[in-house]
Chains A and B, each alone.
Chain A
Amino acid sequence: MKNNPVWRESVETFFAEGQGFPVYFYLLIILAPVEFLSLYLPSLDAQMWSGSASLFRISSVTALLLTVYFAMRVANQEFAPWRFMPVRRWIRERGLSTASIGQAQQAFLLLHAAVSVVLCAPLLIWAGAIARTPLPRIGATLLLLLFYAFSYGVWGLVSLVLWERRSETRQVFIRCFFFAVVFVSALVYLPLNPVAFLLAYLGRQELPALNLAGWRWPATGVHFGFHGVLGAAGLMAHRWALKKELTS
């Protein structure tokens, strides 16, 4: 991967030149005040009046939304887009295979998600300590953030390859995709929604199972199955889009 020019370009642009630092700045500058102020804010439920009790939950949900949203935008090359060489040129001029381009883009998405989670980790772990959340649950939450960021972020890569020259289209697509998945999943079957699932997990609540075709599917299985399929579909669509770029 080290010698992959697409990977090197992304890493240099984002980290060596510091073009990606604003992403992390936005992430932390939103998360930190939300975390602090949530100590003073009552929640919706009268029985959960205490901000400190919900501190980790509120911080985790905020971190989840921010991580996923920025992962999609980073994958979509919305930050310093002029510094990235188009996919078509990588293929036509540099003779790179679609597989190596795809791998590099996915690896960089994973790196970005990991850096985001690492940067959020101290704030989340402090919140967890104050809210007396058990360490395994804090660890699981961090892993969930990584999982969601990648599952949703690959759709940013799909839009990047599909509409590389139409940046506005890409931006509209990923925003619509993000909000549609979050809201529709909540409307269709609540356990599909990542926010609802995370809140239920942290609140040790039992989510209702899905009764479908006479079968009773456990909510956790359905949730991870859905997001696994979503991520896998994104990876397949990314590969298909790259191949389409090669043949066009």
Chain B
Amino acid sequence: MSFSGRFIRTARACFSLLRAGSGLDAPSGPPLKSAKRSAACLRIAWLSLLPALFQFASVCAADILIDSRVGFHGVFRLGRPFPLEIEISNSGLSAEGTVEVRLWKGGATKGGAPYPLLYRRDIFVPAQSRKIVQFTVDPDFISRPLTITFSSPAGESKQEIDLRRYFSPAPVMLLVSEADLLPPVSLAPSSASRLLSMSAAELPADPRAWLGVSHLILYDQSLRDLSRAQLLALDGWIAAGGKMLILGSLNYALYQEPAISRYLPVRVMGAKRVAFTSPLGKNDRTMAPTEVWAQASTVITGKTLAEADGLPILVENNRGKGRITYLAFDVGRPPLSQWNGLPGLLQNLLGPAVTDEAPPRTRWDDAVFSQLMMSPSFASAYVPTGSLLLAIGCYLTGLGAYGWFWQRKQLAVRSLFVAFALFVTVATLGGYIVFSRGGNTPDAVLMSATVMEGSDNGYADAQSSLALFSTKIRPYDIQLEGNWIDLTPVSTPVRERPDPTVVLQAGGGSSRYRLDLREWDYRLFRMRSISRFPLRVELEPQGDKLLMKIDNQSAKDLTECWLVLPGQHYALGDIARGATRRQVFPLTPAKANDDSSAAGRSAAVDFRDVSFPEKTRDILFHASFFPRDSEITPWTGGAAAVFVGWVKNPEPRLRVDDPRVQVQEYALFRASIPLAGSEDE
């Protein structure tokens, strides 16, 4: 029970006791002076108790103190999500309330007006205790402070944080090591990256919180105590482009635990002294040791980059867009720890913090969405066009019939008048009920259009363009599914009304976006996620022919597939799940293409002739996924071939538990394959 309820009950009990004592509830009898006097005394006593009661209330109220920890030991990478840990200390009665973090999105850098984004979580803080709440926040600009509020029926506590004190313009590297043996890894003077030492328990449990981290270095560290959420977050981060460097140690047993084995590209069997050779194959001028300790292992997956005495020393494995590097040497113990060339070796292994090449962005704005909304197939989802046409037709026909009866004068004027009034009334009311409450008009249409960028290692980088279009005034709850790593509302440069506040409600192991929309209003979002989609597309030039190999090991069928080559395009039809296909195409554009008009075009990849029967797919493909005015893409200039196919019944990216909200999912698999011997090469 909350404090306020308890206080009210206590006050009521006191009041009823006083009333009983004072005889205020007694039936009124003949007035007696003494009785009056005693009643007056009791009233005074009761009134004098009131301040004490209120003082009691203030003493009993939950006394909340907010403390917060920003980023990784007070550092976060600018422009990326970062962890925010909030500690709620309650030195009063137990309190049930809401922690709310308010920050700002949009603004000049995003080309729109600033709007607040609220992160909210309901918590219960027992009396005389502390509670830690973790959020992953992502402000678009930090000139406005971040505000943390804990509000409960008993009161409100607030803290403002100036984020300018914590940001780093460069990526952050994390070092996790139980042993204090590793010499400080000095980064290159030109590097602005920040290296922070953390304990395993401090690692975030949300993959989005990792997005500002470029490298994670593990040395002599057990991952046994990591929670499942932390491990999943780590998996998600690596798949999204994170780089992990695992340094070997004499404590090889730590590396045989299942928690760390899931990341190791090798199976560690022991430790032994091996002749030292620089893993990078360079002739170090520094005095290198002759023999060093290294872990003995066998390679499971990945590429061996260096060996010593027949043992793999440096192994690299790509996972998703990320990379795991394993160095077998124990760099924390002598003789290697005393080697002058060690910092240089570590710097080389960490490499420059190069940002990953992002897949070509889809176009998603008001103009694209307007095209979709005006397409008849989409419009019919939310507007009862057929019913309206039928109603108008029936109404005009009814009036015509009425006029005909009137002209024939076969019925009495009174009857005709009553019939007219009845007809118009029934038509009006019936139509109103059908169009406002009945029919198939949904409260909202939630549309998700995803492009899945295929890669060689079975992962797909999915960019989703989302739109929530409301036909009435109401709030909406959107549940985010899968390994989403980024969800950003699209800023609108000019808008009649300011963007509504978006609330990200966290808790129960899931995230929900909550936003209010007006009637016929909409909101656009962009979402990014990395997921497994083992579909391989390979192209192999064979003289004047091109061999295409497709292996669809995903759980989804692909429909309406196309292969677009410079100056050519081929409809491939459907590719079922589990199917493999080999097909040969000629590499002579003018002859190969049936369409003579296309032959005249430049030998560049041209999507104009690719079309789909469904209008919505066609609009999405040409206006959003492959916009003509897009930036430089891998296929610009005819340097690549592009394979595309629509995913049948794609996995939902979002979920709305409301039958009045219609969900439409579209997903396109796209793989761009560089063509050897193209013009650029």
**A binding-site residues for B, Cβ under 8 Å:** 16, 18, 21, 24, 28-29, 32, 35-36, 39-40, 42, 45-53, 118-119, 121-123, 125-126, 128-132
Closest A-B pairs by Cβ, 3 of them: A53-B520, A129-B435, A129-B436
Known: A53-B520, A130-B383. A47 touches B495 (CB 8 A): yes
Q: Report how far A28 CA is from B431 CA in the complex, Å.
A: 17
B349 part of interface (Cβ distance < 8 Å): no
Question: Please, could you name 27 A-B residue pairs with CB atoms under 8 Å apart, sorted by A?
Answer: A18-B403, A28-B399, A32-B392, A32-B395, A32-B396, A39-B379, A39-B388, A40-B374, A40-B376, A42-B374, A45-B496, A46-B370, A46-B494, A47-B366, A47-B494, A47-B495, A49-B369, A49-B373, A50-B373, A52-B383, A126-B388, A126-B392, A126-B431, A126-B435, A129-B432, A130-B388, A132-B520
Closest chain-A Cβ to B256's Cβ sits at a distance in Å of 61
B329 part of interface (Cβ distance < 8 Å): no
Known: A47-B366, A53-B519, A130-B441. A36 touches B472 (CB 8 A): no
Interface centre among A35, A48, A50, A122 (most CB of B within 10 A): A122
Q: Report how far A194 CA is from B391 CA in the complex, Å.
A: 29
What 17 new A-B contacts, CB under 8 Å, besides A42-B370, A130-B384, A131-B520? A35-B388, A36-B385, A45-B496, A48-B496, A49-B369, A50-B373, A50-B520, A51-B374, A52-B379, A52-B383, A52-B471, A118-B424, A123-B395, A125-B428, A129-B431, A132-B519, A132-B520
B621 part of interface (Cβ distance < 8 Å): no
B residues in contact with A45, CB < 8 Å: 496
User: What number of residue pairs across chains A and B have CB atoms under 8 A from each other?
Assistant: 96
B510 part of interface (Cβ distance < 8 Å): no
Beta-carbon contact of B379 and A21 below 8 Å: no
B residues in contact with A50, CB < 8 Å: 373, 520
Closest chain-B Cβ to A15's Cβ sits at a distance in Å of 8
Q: For chain B, what secondary structure do more than half of its interface residues adopt (helix, strand, loop), or is it mixed?
A: helix
Interface size class of B (residues with CB under 8 A): 35 or more
Q: Report how far A42 CA is from B413 CA in the complex, Å.
A: 45
Name A125's contact: one of B373, B407, B432, B520 (CB within 8 Å). B432
B259 part of interface (Cβ distance < 8 Å): no
B358 part of interface (Cβ distance < 8 Å): no
Q: Report how far A130 CA is from B403 CA in the complex, Å.
A: 28
Q: For chain A, what secondary structure do more than half of its interface residues adopt (helix, strand, loop), or is it mixed?
A: helix
B210 part of interface (Cβ distance < 8 Å): no
**Closest B residue by C-beta to A126:** B431
B44 part of interface (Cβ distance < 8 Å): no
Closest chain-B Cβ to A140's Cβ sits at a distance in Å of 16
A residues in contact with B612, CB < 8 Å: none
Known: A28-B396, A47-B495, A119-B399. A126 touches B472 (CB 8 A): no
Q: Report how far A119 CA is from B425 CA in the complex, Å.
A: 10
A residues in contact with B384, CB < 8 Å: 130
**Closest B residue by C-beta to A203:** B496
Beta-carbon contact of A122 and B374 below 8 Å: no
A residues in contact with B494, CB < 8 Å: 46-47
B residues in contact with A28, CB < 8 Å: 396, 399
Q: Report how far A46 CA is from B368 CA in the complex, Å.
A: 11
Contact with A along B240-275 (1 / 0, CB 8 A): 000000000000000000000000000000000000
Closest chain-A Cβ to B510's Cβ sits at a distance in Å of 31
Interface centre among A47, A49, A130 (most CB of B within 10 A): A130
Known: A40-B376, A122-B395. A18 touches B407 (CB 8 A): yes
Beta-carbon contact of A52 and B424 below 8 Å: no
B residues in contact with A129, CB < 8 Å: 431-432, 434-436
B residues in contact with A53, CB < 8 Å: 519-520
Closest chain-A Cβ to B439's Cβ sits at a distance in Å of 9
Name B428's contact: one of A39, A40, A47, A121 (CB within 8 Å). A121
A residues in contact with B428, CB < 8 Å: 121-122, 125
Beta-carbon contact of B471 and A132 below 8 Å: yes
B389 part of interface (Cβ distance < 8 Å): yes
Beta-carbon contact of B432 and A49 below 8 Å: no
B residues in contact with A42, CB < 8 Å: 370, 374
B residues in contact with A32, CB < 8 Å: 392, 395-396
A residues in contact with B392, CB < 8 Å: 32, 35-36, 123, 126
